Structure formats: C-alpha cells, structure tokens
Structure 1
C-alpha cells in the first residue's frame, strides 16, 4: 500500500511538471507587492516604532495575497496590523486594512460588521464603502452592495476601486457591456507602475468579452495582461478557458499547469484535471481529481476553501456528500454562485422543486454565466432556456 501511494505521488508530480518551470519565479520577479514588502521590511528595521510602516506593510502583504491567492500573506498582514495597533490602539488605517484581511480570509459576515462600524466612524471613506460592497456581494445582499458602490462613485467620481466594483455588479446584473465600460475607465485611470492591478482589470475584461462571444477581444486583452504581469495566474486561467472554448485542450493544459505552479491551490488543480479530461487524457485526469479531492477535503471546514468545486466533483460521484458541502456553504453565504452550487446539489439528490426555487433566486439577480445557465436549463428553469436561446 505504501509503495502504491509513493508511485501515485510520483505520477502526480510528473503530471504537474510543466514546460514552464519558472512560473512562480516569473510571478516573483514581476511582483509590485514583493518589492514594496522588501522595502518596508528594511524601513521597519531602521524605525521599528513607526505605525504607518506597519500599516503599509500589511497593505503590501494583502496585495501579495491577491497576486498569489496564498492566504498565508493575510496571516502576515494580521501580524503587521497587530504591531501597528499595539503602537497606536484604534488607529483607523490599521482597522480599515483589517477588513481587507477578513475579506481575504472569506470571513464575510465579520468583515461586513467591521466595515459598518468603520463607516459610522468615517462616513466619507471610499474604501470602507468598497469593503461594504465586497462583503455584501459575497453574502448575496446585492441591493446593499449596489447602494455602497454608488456611494463610492458619488464621493469620488471615477475612482478605480469604485469603478471595478461597479463593473462586477453590472456583470452580476447581466449588463455585460456596461461592465466592460466601467473596466475600461478603471484601466485608463490606473497608474502604470501598478502592473498587477492593470493585469487584473484586463483579465476581468477578457472574462466579459468571452461571455459576450468576443474571443478576439479576449485574446487581445489577455496578451496585454500578461505583458503587464508575466506569469499572472488569473490571466493564465482565463487564457486556458479561451483555449478550451476553441477546443485547443492541450494548450489549455499547459497554461493550467503553469497557473498551478504559480498558485498551487485545490481549485486550480480541479481546473487542470478537468482540462486533462477534455483533452482525452483520462488516466492523468483521474489521478489529479483524486489529489484534488484529498486537498480540498482537508480545507473544506475552513472559510477559504474549494467547496464549490467539491460540490460539482461529488455531484457526479457521491451526490449525498455534494449536498452536505453545499448546505454548509449555503448557511454561510447566499451569493449567486453559492445558490447555483446548492441548487445543483439538490437537483442531483432528487430534490428538484427546491433546486428550481434556489436557481430562480440566483437568476433573478440577472447573472449570465454560461455554465450556470446550462445547469439552470438542466434543472428546468424556463427563464434560463430563454437566456441561452435554447
């Protein structure tokens, strides 16, 4: 048994090996956040009692967490904030960055509570409203999220955080062209040194262009994104989705290997296994799905998890397990994608009336995600059939 497990591990490592071994290195070389972290850590060595240096370090660590999707950077940010608050108890900047940490750790209810508290303390702070948008979106409170986003744009017209959040809400409400327009404005207003921010905006635009059936535009902006931030894992993932839509599966596999090298998380392993399956490489796919299951289950009880992917994975294999996981997430948050996964888990367990009701709730927001709409059609929601042209 032990020998078999060793052999399986060797096979998994060989599958994950890539023609792009420097994926993580590229990510590090081009990271604006890492440069800031190094500079701030040196500054703190020279002035260990400077409150704002710790706040700036926490901000840079949160930025690095987004660059890599590595939650350990949020832990380091928390440590920096703890030092800041020990030097200056209750300082607003530290408490505000603390909300970003809570959001990054997927502690959405607590983040909302803290953001509301800070809003009362500083009713004209744009980023506090941004965190209110983020928390409310993740909890499914879309009316409150829209209200907070409008406050952002009213307080400071044209601010980039407000534009990107408005863009995401437009997408959720089904206004793809409006979302693209907001992102175009955000891109034009983002400073050139902010290469990760520029790459992120372009990657979101590519996602929207694909939803609108504009593959050439998606390819163009993804090339730009990877020009700003070579090896950027979000852009690699979106380019892989484009290749899959073009049935260029082996190219998608290469891209997703590179992405996993830069951001080795269970949900990224799931996408790689799925691409291998589409490429007809079923034996490799089975091995990686097995590894995904092990890694995702290990973090299933945590707030930052791969439970959405686990639901769809188990839906085909162990429907009862899929429903248990979906129910757990549904108790914690009610965004459209959680409703989608919950509805699908109910459907595969034969609870079709409940599945339709939850899917109708998701569709009422206006979401036009193609995969979600396909599941809605399968569940039997007529509105989805109209939206997909079925």
Structure 2
C-alpha cells in the first residue's frame, strides 16, 4: 500500500480512531470528529455540499435531508408565492435547483438556481449565509471553483457555525489543489456537524491517502449515523466504491445491492453495481445496470462505462452508439464554453483526437489542478506521444499516496513508453494488485505490458526503483 512519506501520520487516539464510540452511545451525534491528517489530504472531486462527484441520483448536494429535488421545488415555490420576500425560502429554492441540476445533468437548471439565489440576496443583501452558501455550491456545480471559494469564504465569515459553508470551502480547496486548506475545512465541518456528509469527507481524506481500512471504518460510521434513506444510499455507494477500488468486487456488489433495495432508481448505485458485475464476469447484468443508469441520467461516466464495457465484449456497434452520445455531449460543452471534466478528457484521449485531449487537459489543469485532472492530462499527453511531458503530471496525480489503479496504470504505461522497464513493471504490478479488474479495456492491456516488462526486468532490479513521490505533499 503506497503511503505518503513527506508527512507522517498522527498517532491514533480516540478522535482519529474510526472505531471509537463515546461510552454509552451507539451512534455519533455531537462528539467532535478529528481527522488530523498532517499537511496533505484531499477529498474526491466534487461540487456542491457533498464529497462525491458521482452521486447525483440521491440528491447529493446538501445530502442530509432526504426529500426529492422535485418535491422540494414544488413546495418551496408554493411557499414563496405566499411569502415572496422570504430570503431563506429563495435560498432554499436556489439550492434545490442546484440539486436538481446535478440529479438530471441539466445545466439549464443552474440559471434558475442563480436567479433564485440572487433574489434571496436582493431581499436580504447582508448576513445571508444561506444564499452565499448556495452561490458557492452553484459555482462548484459549474466547475468554477475559484468563484466557489470566494462565496464559501463569504458564507463562512457571515456565519462561522455554518457547516455547509465549510463543505463548499473544502470542495473548492480540493479542486484547486490546496489540500492542506481543504483539510482544515473538513476539520471545521466535522467539528460543527458530524453527520453523513462530514464523515464521508473524513473517509475520503484517508482513502485518497491510501488508508482504505480507516476510510471504510469512517464510512461505516456514516452509514450507522444516516438519518434518511438518501443518506443510507449515499453511504452504501461509497462503501461499494471503496470495495471495488480495492479489488473486492463481491463486497462492492453486496453494498450496491443493499443500497438499491432502498433506492431502486439510484443511478450511481446502478453504476456501482454494474462495475461490480463486470469485474465478476456477470456481463449481462453489468450491461443491464449500466443501461438503466444511462436511462435515468446520461452522465458521461455512465455512458463511457457502458461503451467501454460493450467494446470489451466485442459489441462494437453498441459501443459506437455510446461514443456517439459522448461526442454529442462534447460538442454541446465546447459551444457552451464549459470546462472539460476528466471523463471527457480521457474519452477524447482513448477514443478520439489525442491532441485535442491535450488541449482540453491543459485548460482544465490550469484552472483546476486536482490530482484526477493531473492524471487525465498526463494520459492525454501520453496518447499524443509526449511522454516526457506527461511524466511530471502522472507523478503529481499519485503524490498524495492514492491507491488508484487507473492512475498507476497510466504512469506505468508512460514509463514503458519512455523505456524505463523497472519503473513500468513496478507501477503495473501495483495497479493490478490494487484491482485486477480496474478497467474493462485497460486492465488486459496492463497485463500484456507487464508481461513485456517481466521479460526485461529481473526481480532484484526492482529494489533500485525509487518511489517517485517520496517527499511530496
């Protein structure tokens, strides 16, 4: 398990131990949760007020709550017709539109969100932390993380006890590559409100530094503390993801299936179950779950996952259909001027124009130097034959100790292209050790490349391969 060597882990105590329970209390409600992680941490790329970037199906923005976006919007609009000068109502309506925009992948709803939030600020220009927090979540949903940071700071200054503002700050700092500041925001959020959302962030801080057992234990606490079906689905999703990305597809399948029993039309849980089925060789069930997820909301990661699974099964016509959808979505993105996300960059690199992927990746990493973006840019450069340029970005993508198999594979293939067989072997072996089924197309390629490296590198040579991330933060 790779560990960040530049900053030592703190000694465990009651606050950092995810298994600790206050005496006589079965579930955490008010105890402080300390996630002292040293100088560097990050939480998964996100928008809004929750730590996951791939869970729109269970109302993840402002997740603890549980009502559906549509029902919330109808009720709030009815209330605002009765009380049109209610700033809190307008702020809540704006957040509901942000939530629905992420649930449906319809960016037009963000214009409605902005209108409602600005109406709230017009009614109450000062001391309106609800609208300020909503504006931060909206900016993050649009991937404008610098603006999200500005609004998050305003909301936190207006109300230092506002945990949701700390969530906006944590997410913005993460995407901007300012991990130490993100840690402090996560800490404040857990101090203020130790609930499913903040515990999930705490879980991420350990997961993405490579400590999967601690991340899993914290996510179990989040599940135990879940106050609504949507919170439970949210926790089950992340537990499934932790298992899947540790190579334990059977556990991932159980967690996703358990979540779907309480949320049958949850697209992210359907995607998680599809990935588990694919890893276990259940091809028919995997295709069915991916297809159901895409039918609910055609997010790029679902469409790409389905297309690449179909391609791996030799169903090229079906794969081309999904890739056509992605190309249409990319055309819309370019016309709108929105920044490219990692799925779009990786799709273009693997299935389109590598030089265009480089252009997309360069623009993304300049404004959003998050490690997943660093990885996508590195892969685009590799696919364009620019491996010497790619390697520093691949190193940065792994600089926090993350166990991501895909990131290791990407760097391994870059090493291979540069002729560094020992480093390539080390990365490829680690990718396949973390998760032998990490990708339907790339995992078989990793095994082929590793076989080549094994022919060229004796075992004792690996003792001389340095950890390229030693001393990084």
Same fold flag (TM > 0.5):
yes
Partner of 1:21: none
CA shift, 1:302, in A, is 5.0
8 Å Cα contact 2:249-2:277 kept in structure 1: no
Measure the CA separation in 1 of the matches of 2:83 and 2:232. Answer: 32
Partner of 1:200: 234
Pair 1:127-2:145 in alignment: no
- RMSD after superposition: 2.5
Measure the CA separation in 1 of the matches of 2:340 and 2:198. Answer: 28
Partner of 1:329: 364
Q: How does 1:6-85 map to 2 (within 5 A)?
A: 32-85=68-121
Partner of 1:161: 197
8 Å Cα contact 1:299-1:306 kept in structure 2: yes
Partner of 2:316: 282
Q: Give the structure with the larger helix fraction.
A: 1
Pair 1:117-2:154 in alignment: yes
Select the residue among 188, 195, 201 that pairs with 1:151. 188
How many residues are aligned here?
361
CA separation of 1:354/1:306 partners in 2, compared to 1, >3 Å: closer, same or farther?
A: closer
Q: How does 1:240-259 map to 2 (within 5 A)?
A: 240-259=274-293
Partner of 1:170: 206
CA shift, 1:26, in A, is 12
CA shift, 1:197, in A, is 2.9
Measure the CA separation in 2 of the matches of 1:367 and 1:288. Answer: 30
Partner of 2:22: none
Select the residue among 389, 396, 400 that pairs with 1:365. 400
CA shift, 1:233, in A, is 0.8
CA deviation map 1:161-219 (0-9, x unaligned): 32111222222211112212222112222212xx3232122111100011223323222
Tell me: higher relative CO, structure 1 or 2? Use CA pairs within 8 A at least 6 residues apart: 2
Pair 1:318-2:353 in alignment: yes
CA shift, 1:385, in A, is 4.3
Greater CA drift, 85-94 or 312-321: 312-321
CA separation of 1:365/1:301 partners in 2, compared to 1, >3 Å: closer, same or farther?
A: farther
CA separation of 1:174/1:115 partners in 2, compared to 1, >3 Å: closer, same or farther?
A: same
TM-score, scaled relative to structure 2: 0.71
Pair 1:387-2:424 in alignment: no
- 1:327 aligned counterpart, secondary structure: helix
Select the residue among 213, 227, 231 that pairs with 2:247. 213
CA shift, 1:47, in A, is 2.1
Measure the CA separation in 1 of the matches of 2:197 and 2:282. Answer: 35
Partner of 2:268: 234
TM-score, scaled relative to structure 1: 0.85
Q: How does 1:288-307 map to 2 (within 5 A)?
A: 288-300=322-334, 307=341
CA separation of 1:76/1:238 partners in 2, compared to 1, >3 Å: closer, same or farther?
A: same
Unaligned runs of 5+ in 1: 1-24
8 Å Cα contact 1:296-1:305 kept in structure 2: no
Unaligned runs of 5+ in 2: 1-56, 60-65, 416-422, 434-449, 451-473
